[in-house]
Chains A and B, each alone.
Chain A
Amino acid sequence: MKRCPLSRLEDLFAALAESYKLYIPTDGEKGSSFTLWSEGAEISRRLNTARPPKDFFFPQSEDLMGFKTHGQTVELVDLRTEKEDFALFGVRACDAESLNILDRVFLSEPGDSYYASRREKGVIFTLACNKPAETCFCTAFGIDPSRPGGDVSCIECGEYLYLEPLTQKGEAALERLSAVTEDCDSAEAEPQREKIAKTVSRLPLADLSTEGFGEGKTDELFSDERWAELSRCCIGCGSCTFVCPTCQCYDIKDFKNGSGVVRYRCWDSCMYSDFTKMSAGQPRTDQTSRFRQRFMHKLVYFPENNDGVFGCVGCGRCVAKCPVSMNIVKVMRTLGGKKDE
């Protein structure tokens, strides 16, 4: 384990920026967001960024390919550009875990080369949550906010930032920071981890459990009559999907730009009425069934296909952003837990 005095954080960023395009969370009008670091940039002291770091790997919109058409002929145009090596500093434990979930989708065969190349280029410095928020429930999904994942796991304790490499990529990144870091005993950060554990245990959502969800629960939960009541207030705006670090449904569309055609991919939402619409009809005709699809996917279908891993990391963004205060926590509280019989 290494440590760097917090007073030298600026030097650490400068050293990182020599090798990588460095992005850190900074405060702006719309809350905190990952922005390109420049000298003097102040790291946000908010708990987390308004949007997850998903954009860096699976952008909200990206050009996949282009076409030139002349008469009856079609020519393919490669629009891909190589991304430079980049580093994200300050990714929280929940968001770091969300990338493992996205990996299961995009890197499973046949792999998505757009996503894969960005994952290869990016190195993730996570940061333990010294002050988790009341909307946090990552622990329900087995995530420890005091020991975040990523390539280099960091925690602030006392006067120092402690850095522990978790991957080869992380080790390589840390080697480049030797001028601003020094070796230390890993026990030094323990008091802070204990403090975090205590804080987390007192959070309002600390008792949230995944009991009642997961593999083999399709029949029982799908036919539950309470979906109608739960979804009644849902206006199908898709906000939950767009702030979600694990939502990965996408659309592919063509755009004529004057000199040719660009085929692009953009985020989509299973909460939208036209998501599954075909000329021959569609499987989910009402908001209740679309609402149910989103939560069944995260809490039952995804674990079914992924060794029991849930498709939610408890970041709490949907809890904070839903305009009608509906969210996965209410779904879990209502439908989950021990069945009273």
Chain B
Amino acid sequence: MNERNEPLIPKIGVITDVRIDTPDVKTFRVVTPDGKKAFEHKPGQCAMLSVPGVGEAMFSITSSPTNTEYMEFSIKKCGCVTDWLHRAEVGQQITIRGPYGRPFPVDSEFVGKDLLFIAGGIGLAPLRSVINYCRAYRDRYGRIDIVYGARSADDLVDYREIIEQWCEDEGVSVHLTIDREQEGWDGHVGFVPSYVKELGFTPDRTAILCGPPVMIKFTLQGLGEMGFEKSDVYTTMELRMKCGIGKCGRCNIGAKYVCKDGPVFRCDELDELPDEY
């Protein structure tokens, strides 16, 4: 029905797998009714998913573009649409449109660089796409370090993939941490910002951050103290969106629209925006 190529009109998507990641995060696999990927995307881009009758919301695409079969979305239960999705079962049809936004510069600025990924909680979801893309094209990038923290060991998203795949990769170092001591956890305990400082990375790396605002704030501060330039630090933003194409006005910050000018921003670009995000 979309012969006029109207961007607001979505495609039908089918949930073909639901993985329980944490007590409040599930990862949904989505394809079109004929079993294909709904569209191609680049790491860091987002898609609008909707449950007709409930609403539409923007989610980062957590699967890598190198996955040719399906897309995945790691979704935390925190509102009407996400609540409904968490109750959905395999076979459920939803709608999907996209891709939206500016991706991470995986084929330009990141090439040849040592990469430092820093994520907190559900903040791993948008970075997983980049991490798996970089793992797929391993020889284009230097060292890869991943610092990932969550409230508890049960709140680490994609834990199995991290342990079984990322930790096994040559030239990829994974540093996990949880906020408080927990029985059965023999890894690091402490908040992400202080763990990053403890690990003492050299500032010649490109850092990619995503997590709750308080984590971002203190990690940025820490990276600054470690000598990182803001132009070498990237993050991805989240704001309320309705259209995804820079028209509905919700995600407007300064002269930028997060849905189309972001969600990925370099930290020196963020400094130019008015301080209200």
Contact = CB atoms under 8 A, between A and B. Distances in A.
A239 interface: no
B250 A106 contact: no
A75 B276 CA distance: 40
Contacts of A263: 50, 52, 56
Given A72-B93, A254-B55, A64 B9 contact: yes
Contacts of B1: 65, 76-78
Interface string A110-127: 101110010000000000
A74 B247 CA distance: 27
Given A105-B247, A218-B274, A289-B276, A252 B12 contact: no
Contacts of B255: 218, 300-301, 304-305
A326 interface: no
Nearest to A263: B52
A214 to B, nearest CB: 11
A112 B274 contact: no
A30 interface: no
B180 to A, nearest CB: 22
A75 B12 CA distance: 8
B239 interface: yes
Nearest to B212: A280
B6 interface: yes
B111 interface: no
Interface string A65-92: 1010100111111100000000000000
Given A78-B1, A113-B6, A282-B240, A252 B248 contact: yes
A107 to B, nearest CB: 10
A141 interface: no
Contacts of A300: 255
Contacts of B92: 72
Contacts of A278: 238-240
A110 B7 contact: yes
Interface in A271-296: 275-284, 289, 293, 296
A282 B238 CA distance: 10
B4 interface: yes
B239 A254 contact: no
A278 B80 CA distance: 11
Contact of A222 (B12, B82, B247, B274): B274
A268 interface: yes
Contacts of B250: 249, 275-276
Among B89, B95, B240, chain A packs the most CB atoms within 10 A around the CB of: B240
Contact of A293 (B94, B238, B252): B252
B54 interface: yes
A275 B82 CA distance: 19
Contacts of B5: 110, 113
Chain B interface main SS type: loop
A110 B7 CA distance: 7
A112 B5 CA distance: 9
Chain A interface main SS type: mixed
Contacts of B12: 74-76
Contacts of B249: 248-250, 268, 270, 297
Given A74-B93, A218-B254, A252 B243 contact: yes
Interface in A237-275: 248-254, 256, 261, 263, 265, 268, 270, 275
Interface string B218-261: 00000000000000000000111011011111111111000000
Given A105-B247, A254-B52, A293-B252, A74 B276 contact: no
A32 to B, nearest CB: 28
B212 to A, nearest CB: 8
A110 B213 CA distance: 31
Contacts of B247: 105-106, 112, 248, 250
A237 B8 CA distance: 28
Nearest to A112: B247
Interface in A286-341: 289, 293, 296-297, 300-301, 304-305
Among A67, A218, A284, A297, chain B packs the most CB atoms within 10 A around the CB of: A67
Contacts of A219: 274
A293 B254 CA distance: 8
Nearest to A73: B93
A249 B93 contact: no
Contacts of B239: 276, 278, 283
B184 interface: no
Contact of B56 (A112, A252, A289, A305): A252
Interface in A111-148: 112-114, 117
Contacts of B94: 74
Closest 9 CB pairs of A and B: A249-B249, A67-B52, A304-B255, A279-B78, A74-B93, A78-B1, A222-B274, A261-B53, A113-B6
Interface of A: 64-65, 67, 69, 72-78, 105-106, 108, 110, 112-114, 117, 218-219, 222, 248-254, 256, 261, 263, 265, 268, 270, 275-284, 289, 293, 296-297, 300-301, 304-305
23 contacts: A67-B52, A69-B53, A72-B89, A74-B12, A74-B95, A76-B10, A76-B12, A78-B1, A105-B247, A113-B4, A219-B274, A248-B247, A249-B249, A249-B250, A252-B56, A252-B243, A254-B55, A261-B52, A263-B52, A275-B250, A278-B240, A283-B253, A296-B274
Given A74-B12, A249-B250, A250-B243, 20 more contacts: A67-B52, A72-B91, A72-B92, A76-B12, A112-B7, A117-B4, A218-B274, A219-B274, A250-B242, A254-B52, A254-B53, A254-B54, A254-B55, A263-B56, A270-B249, A275-B240, A278-B239, A279-B79, A283-B277, A297-B252
